[in-house]
Amino acid sequence: MELTEAWVEHRRDGQPIKAFRAQPARVATPLPAVLVIQEIWGPDAHIVDLARRFASAGYVALAPDLYSRGGRPAELAPERIEDVKRFLDTVPPSAWTDPQALRQAIQEQPAPRRDHLQETVGRLFGPRDTEGMLADLVAWVDYLEADPGSRGRPVGSTGYCMGGHLSFELAACEPRLRVALVYYGAAPDATRMAHIGCPVYGFYGERDPRITDAVPDVARAMREHGKTYEYRIYPGARHAFFNDTRAAYDVEAARDAWARTLFLFNQYLGG
């Protein structure tokens, strides 16, 4: 399908923020919109490809760069993040969540790569400004409401890993959101769940205990707050099973999750 696509700029509190935007080229009427919320890596080739896939399915797709506010810092430059991905592919997955093991593996790298890895890993896996990112996402909902390509049509969100958590959190702070999809992302705390205003659907891998082990408690808390929350746990699938650029990609789980995602967006946004 021919798409109209571009990197677009918006502003929040006077600072520029950027996003990748795509939509079908030969549609003149406004379309429902999907916020495609990045993994920790930013709106990389995988996220941009997903935005194009949603656009090809008949949506205005917007993938915000949540590192762009005020300009990306050098340590979060796309080429630096890609080098971190390559490095992490060389260490055991257990090292990702073991700071000591990760530091040791980085120290074994030659300079200046060692210093660059240390800086970028520190920014990616260190404390993050979740509230600032949510404020950026709310600003992008404002953008979509004014965008001639989506004006007057509903908005939903889908997010992956860090973006899955943000999609869940956005459901608690953005009443205009019609549906939120969560791919292997953590849930908000129970007090924030009380403010969720739309249905939430989760997709998880069985071999992702850090996230998946909490899902039954999340479901219980959502029920107690009277919220709609349904989930699917894919047997044998790992964290990031939907990312077809990573070693954890699980084609069977991803195929099923994609079909369910399109069904849900059509159900909540397509009418």
pLDDT tier for residue 231 given thresholds of 50, 70 and 90: very high
What residues act catalytically? 161, 208, 239
Instruction: For residues 66 and 87, state if they share a domain.
Output: no
Instruction: For residues 221 and 161, state if they share a domain.
Output: yes
Phi-psi region of 165 (alpha: psi -120 to 50; beta: other; left: phi over 0): alpha
Instruction: For residues 184 and 264, state if they share a domain.
Output: yes
Q: Residue 57: how many CB atoms within 10 A of its CB?
A: 17
The pTM score is 0.96
- Report yes or no: 134 and 169 within 8 Å, Cβ to Cβ: yes
CA distance 61 to 140: 11
Instruction: Tell me which H or E stretch contains 218.
Output: helix 215-224
Tens of pLDDT, residues 25-82: 999 999 999 999 999 999 999 999 999 999 999 999 999 999 999 999 999 999 999 9
pLDDT tier for residue 107 given thresholds of 50, 70 and 90: very high
Instruction: For residues 21 and 155, state if they share a domain.
Output: yes
Distance of CA 48 to the CA centre of its chain: 11
Q: Please check the confidence at residue 217 and state whether its pLDDT lies above 90.
A: yes
Instruction: For residues 42 and 113, state if they share a domain.
Output: no
Domain that holds residue 180: 3-70+129-269
- Report yes or no: 38 and 47 within 8 Å, Cβ to Cβ: yes
Instruction: For residues 95 and 208, state if they share a domain.
Output: no
